[in-house]
Amino acid sequence: MIEFEIDGKKVSASKDMTVLEVAQKEGIHIPTLCHHEKLEPFGGCRICIVEVESRGWTKLVVSCVYPAEKNIIVRTRSPKVDRIRKTIIELLMAHAPDSPQLLDLAAVYGAVPNRYEKDPSFCIHCGLCVRYCAEVAQKNALGFVDRGVHKEISFIPEIAAKECHACKECFPLCPTSYLQAVFVLTEALAFPDPAVKH
Amino acid sequence: MEIETIDRIIDKHHCEASNLLQIMLEIQSSNNWLPKEALKRVSERLKVPMTRIQHIATFYKAFSLVPKGRHKVHICVGTACHVRGATRILDTVEEATGIKPGETDLDMKFSLETVNCLGCCALGPVMEVDGKVHGKMSPVKTAEALKTYE
């Protein structure tokens, strides 16, 4: 049993829990975008960043991939944490300006939606769809392609044609609805529905 | 690419998923590019999902998902080569082959790429063809060098 402190509250955790899991168990809210309880931690969106003080030193860590540690002091809100989250939200909003989840977060952290030049790629690379398909649905119908600023999600048409119509469990996970758009596009290009008249 | 050749490469690497990258590199070097059928075969035999293979194949610049020419021409456009006139070398190659960077000509003779530094700045501007470095190039020397390739 590991004992430490989150926002002044004494909490206890078992060995392989992350800081985020402990906070959620204790009812302490940490915002997340790429976290899903059924999936392995990913650490993609960095919005769950928190301040950790251990042995007098303060550092910034991503709580969804940071393991619970004895005697640390976690602060989920501090001026520095809030400032970083605000910038992350602003950067993501350059890609997906109308995402409901981002709009909610922007209101909380006072993010300016137009701070950065718009680059509407709509995907924020949270990986929820890709990881859900691989880990839970186990169909591997879509994955990431390319890297860096060119990284995008892409369906394997042969698998998508067979599996996706009956599943579509990843659809509600997408914070921006970009996934649905990619699916419709893949469908139209690779396996059009014969019932739909054009 | 024949299925036997692919199987031989896979067997050479003990048909293990951890050797995926090596298998892909070997297919790439023996075939010059990665055809979809070859990747499908690798995916089936190694039991690795196609999504991961696709991710790897698009992640590394060493892989190509489209056919490549017999000769790979790399023009260095790094800072040193750039100030020594790499653009003129590139223009000459484009003119001589009729292709732009990232493209392959119709008779599959040349594939053209730009690179950011080949590590021999003193020889700039540098052109590399199939791993052979041609240093201190001029437009005339470039056109001459390209003529020697069949």
Q: How far apart are CA B25 and CA B2, in angstroms?
A: 16
Instruction: Report DSSP letters for chain B, one per residue.
Output: --HHHHHHHHHHTTT-GGGHHHHHHHHHHHHSS--HHHHHHHHHHHT--HHHHHHHHHH-TT--SS---SEEEEEE-SHHHHHTTHHHHHHHHHHHH---TT-B-TTS-EEEEEES--S-GGG-S-EEETTEEE-S--HHHHHHHHHT--
Residue A103, H or E segment? helix A100-109
Q: Residue B150: its pLDDT value, please?
A: 80
ipTM here: 0.84
3-state secondary structure of A36: coil
- Amino acid A176: pLDDT: 92
- How many other CB atoms are found less than 10 A from the CB of residue A44? 18
Look at residue A118 in the predicted model and tell me its pLDDT.
92
**What is the tens place of the pLDDT at every residue in B79-98?**
999 999 999 999 999 999 99
Task: Provide CATH 3.40.30.10 ranges for chain B.
Answer: 71-147
Cα–Cα distance measured from residue A72 to residue A11, given in angstroms and rounded to the nearest whole number = 11
Contact B51 A143 (CB under 8 A): yes
The fold adopted by the segment(s) B71-147 is Glutaredoxin (3.40.30)
Structure tokens at A69: 């540690």
Question: Nearest to residue A54, comparing CAs of A65, A64, A67?
Answer: A67
Mean pLDDT over the full length of chain B: 92
- Hey, which residues 144-163 in chain A have their CB within 8 Å of chain B? 144-147, 154, 156, 159
Predicted pLDDT at A198: 57
pLDDT at position A175 is: 94
Query: For residue A5, what are its two tokens?
Result: 């402190």
Cβ-based contacts of A154 with chain B (< 8 Å): 54
Q: pLDDT tens string for chain A (198 positions)?
A: 899 999 999 999 998 999 999 999 999 999 999 999 999 999 999 999 999 999 989 999 999 999 999 999 999 999 999 999 999 999 999 999 999 999 999 999 999 999 999 988 999 999 999 999 999 999 999 999 999 989 999 999 999 999 999 999 999 999 999 999 999 999 999 988 777 665
Q: Which two tokens mark A114?
A: 């137009």
Size of interface A-B (CB pairs under 8 A): 30
Chain B nearest C-alpha distance from A38 (Å) = 20
Chain B residues in contact with A143 by the CB 8 A cut-off are: 49-52, 54-55
B139–chain A nearest CA distance, Å:
33
User: What is the predicted pLDDT for the residue at A197?
Assistant: 61
Decide: pTM greater than 0.90.
no
Find the helix packing angle between B50-59 and A128-135, rounded to 10°: 140
The mean pLDDT of B23-33, rounded to a whole number, is 92
A149 min Cα distance to partner chain B (Å): 12
C-alpha dist (Å) from residue B76 to A4, A107, A125: 55, 48, 32
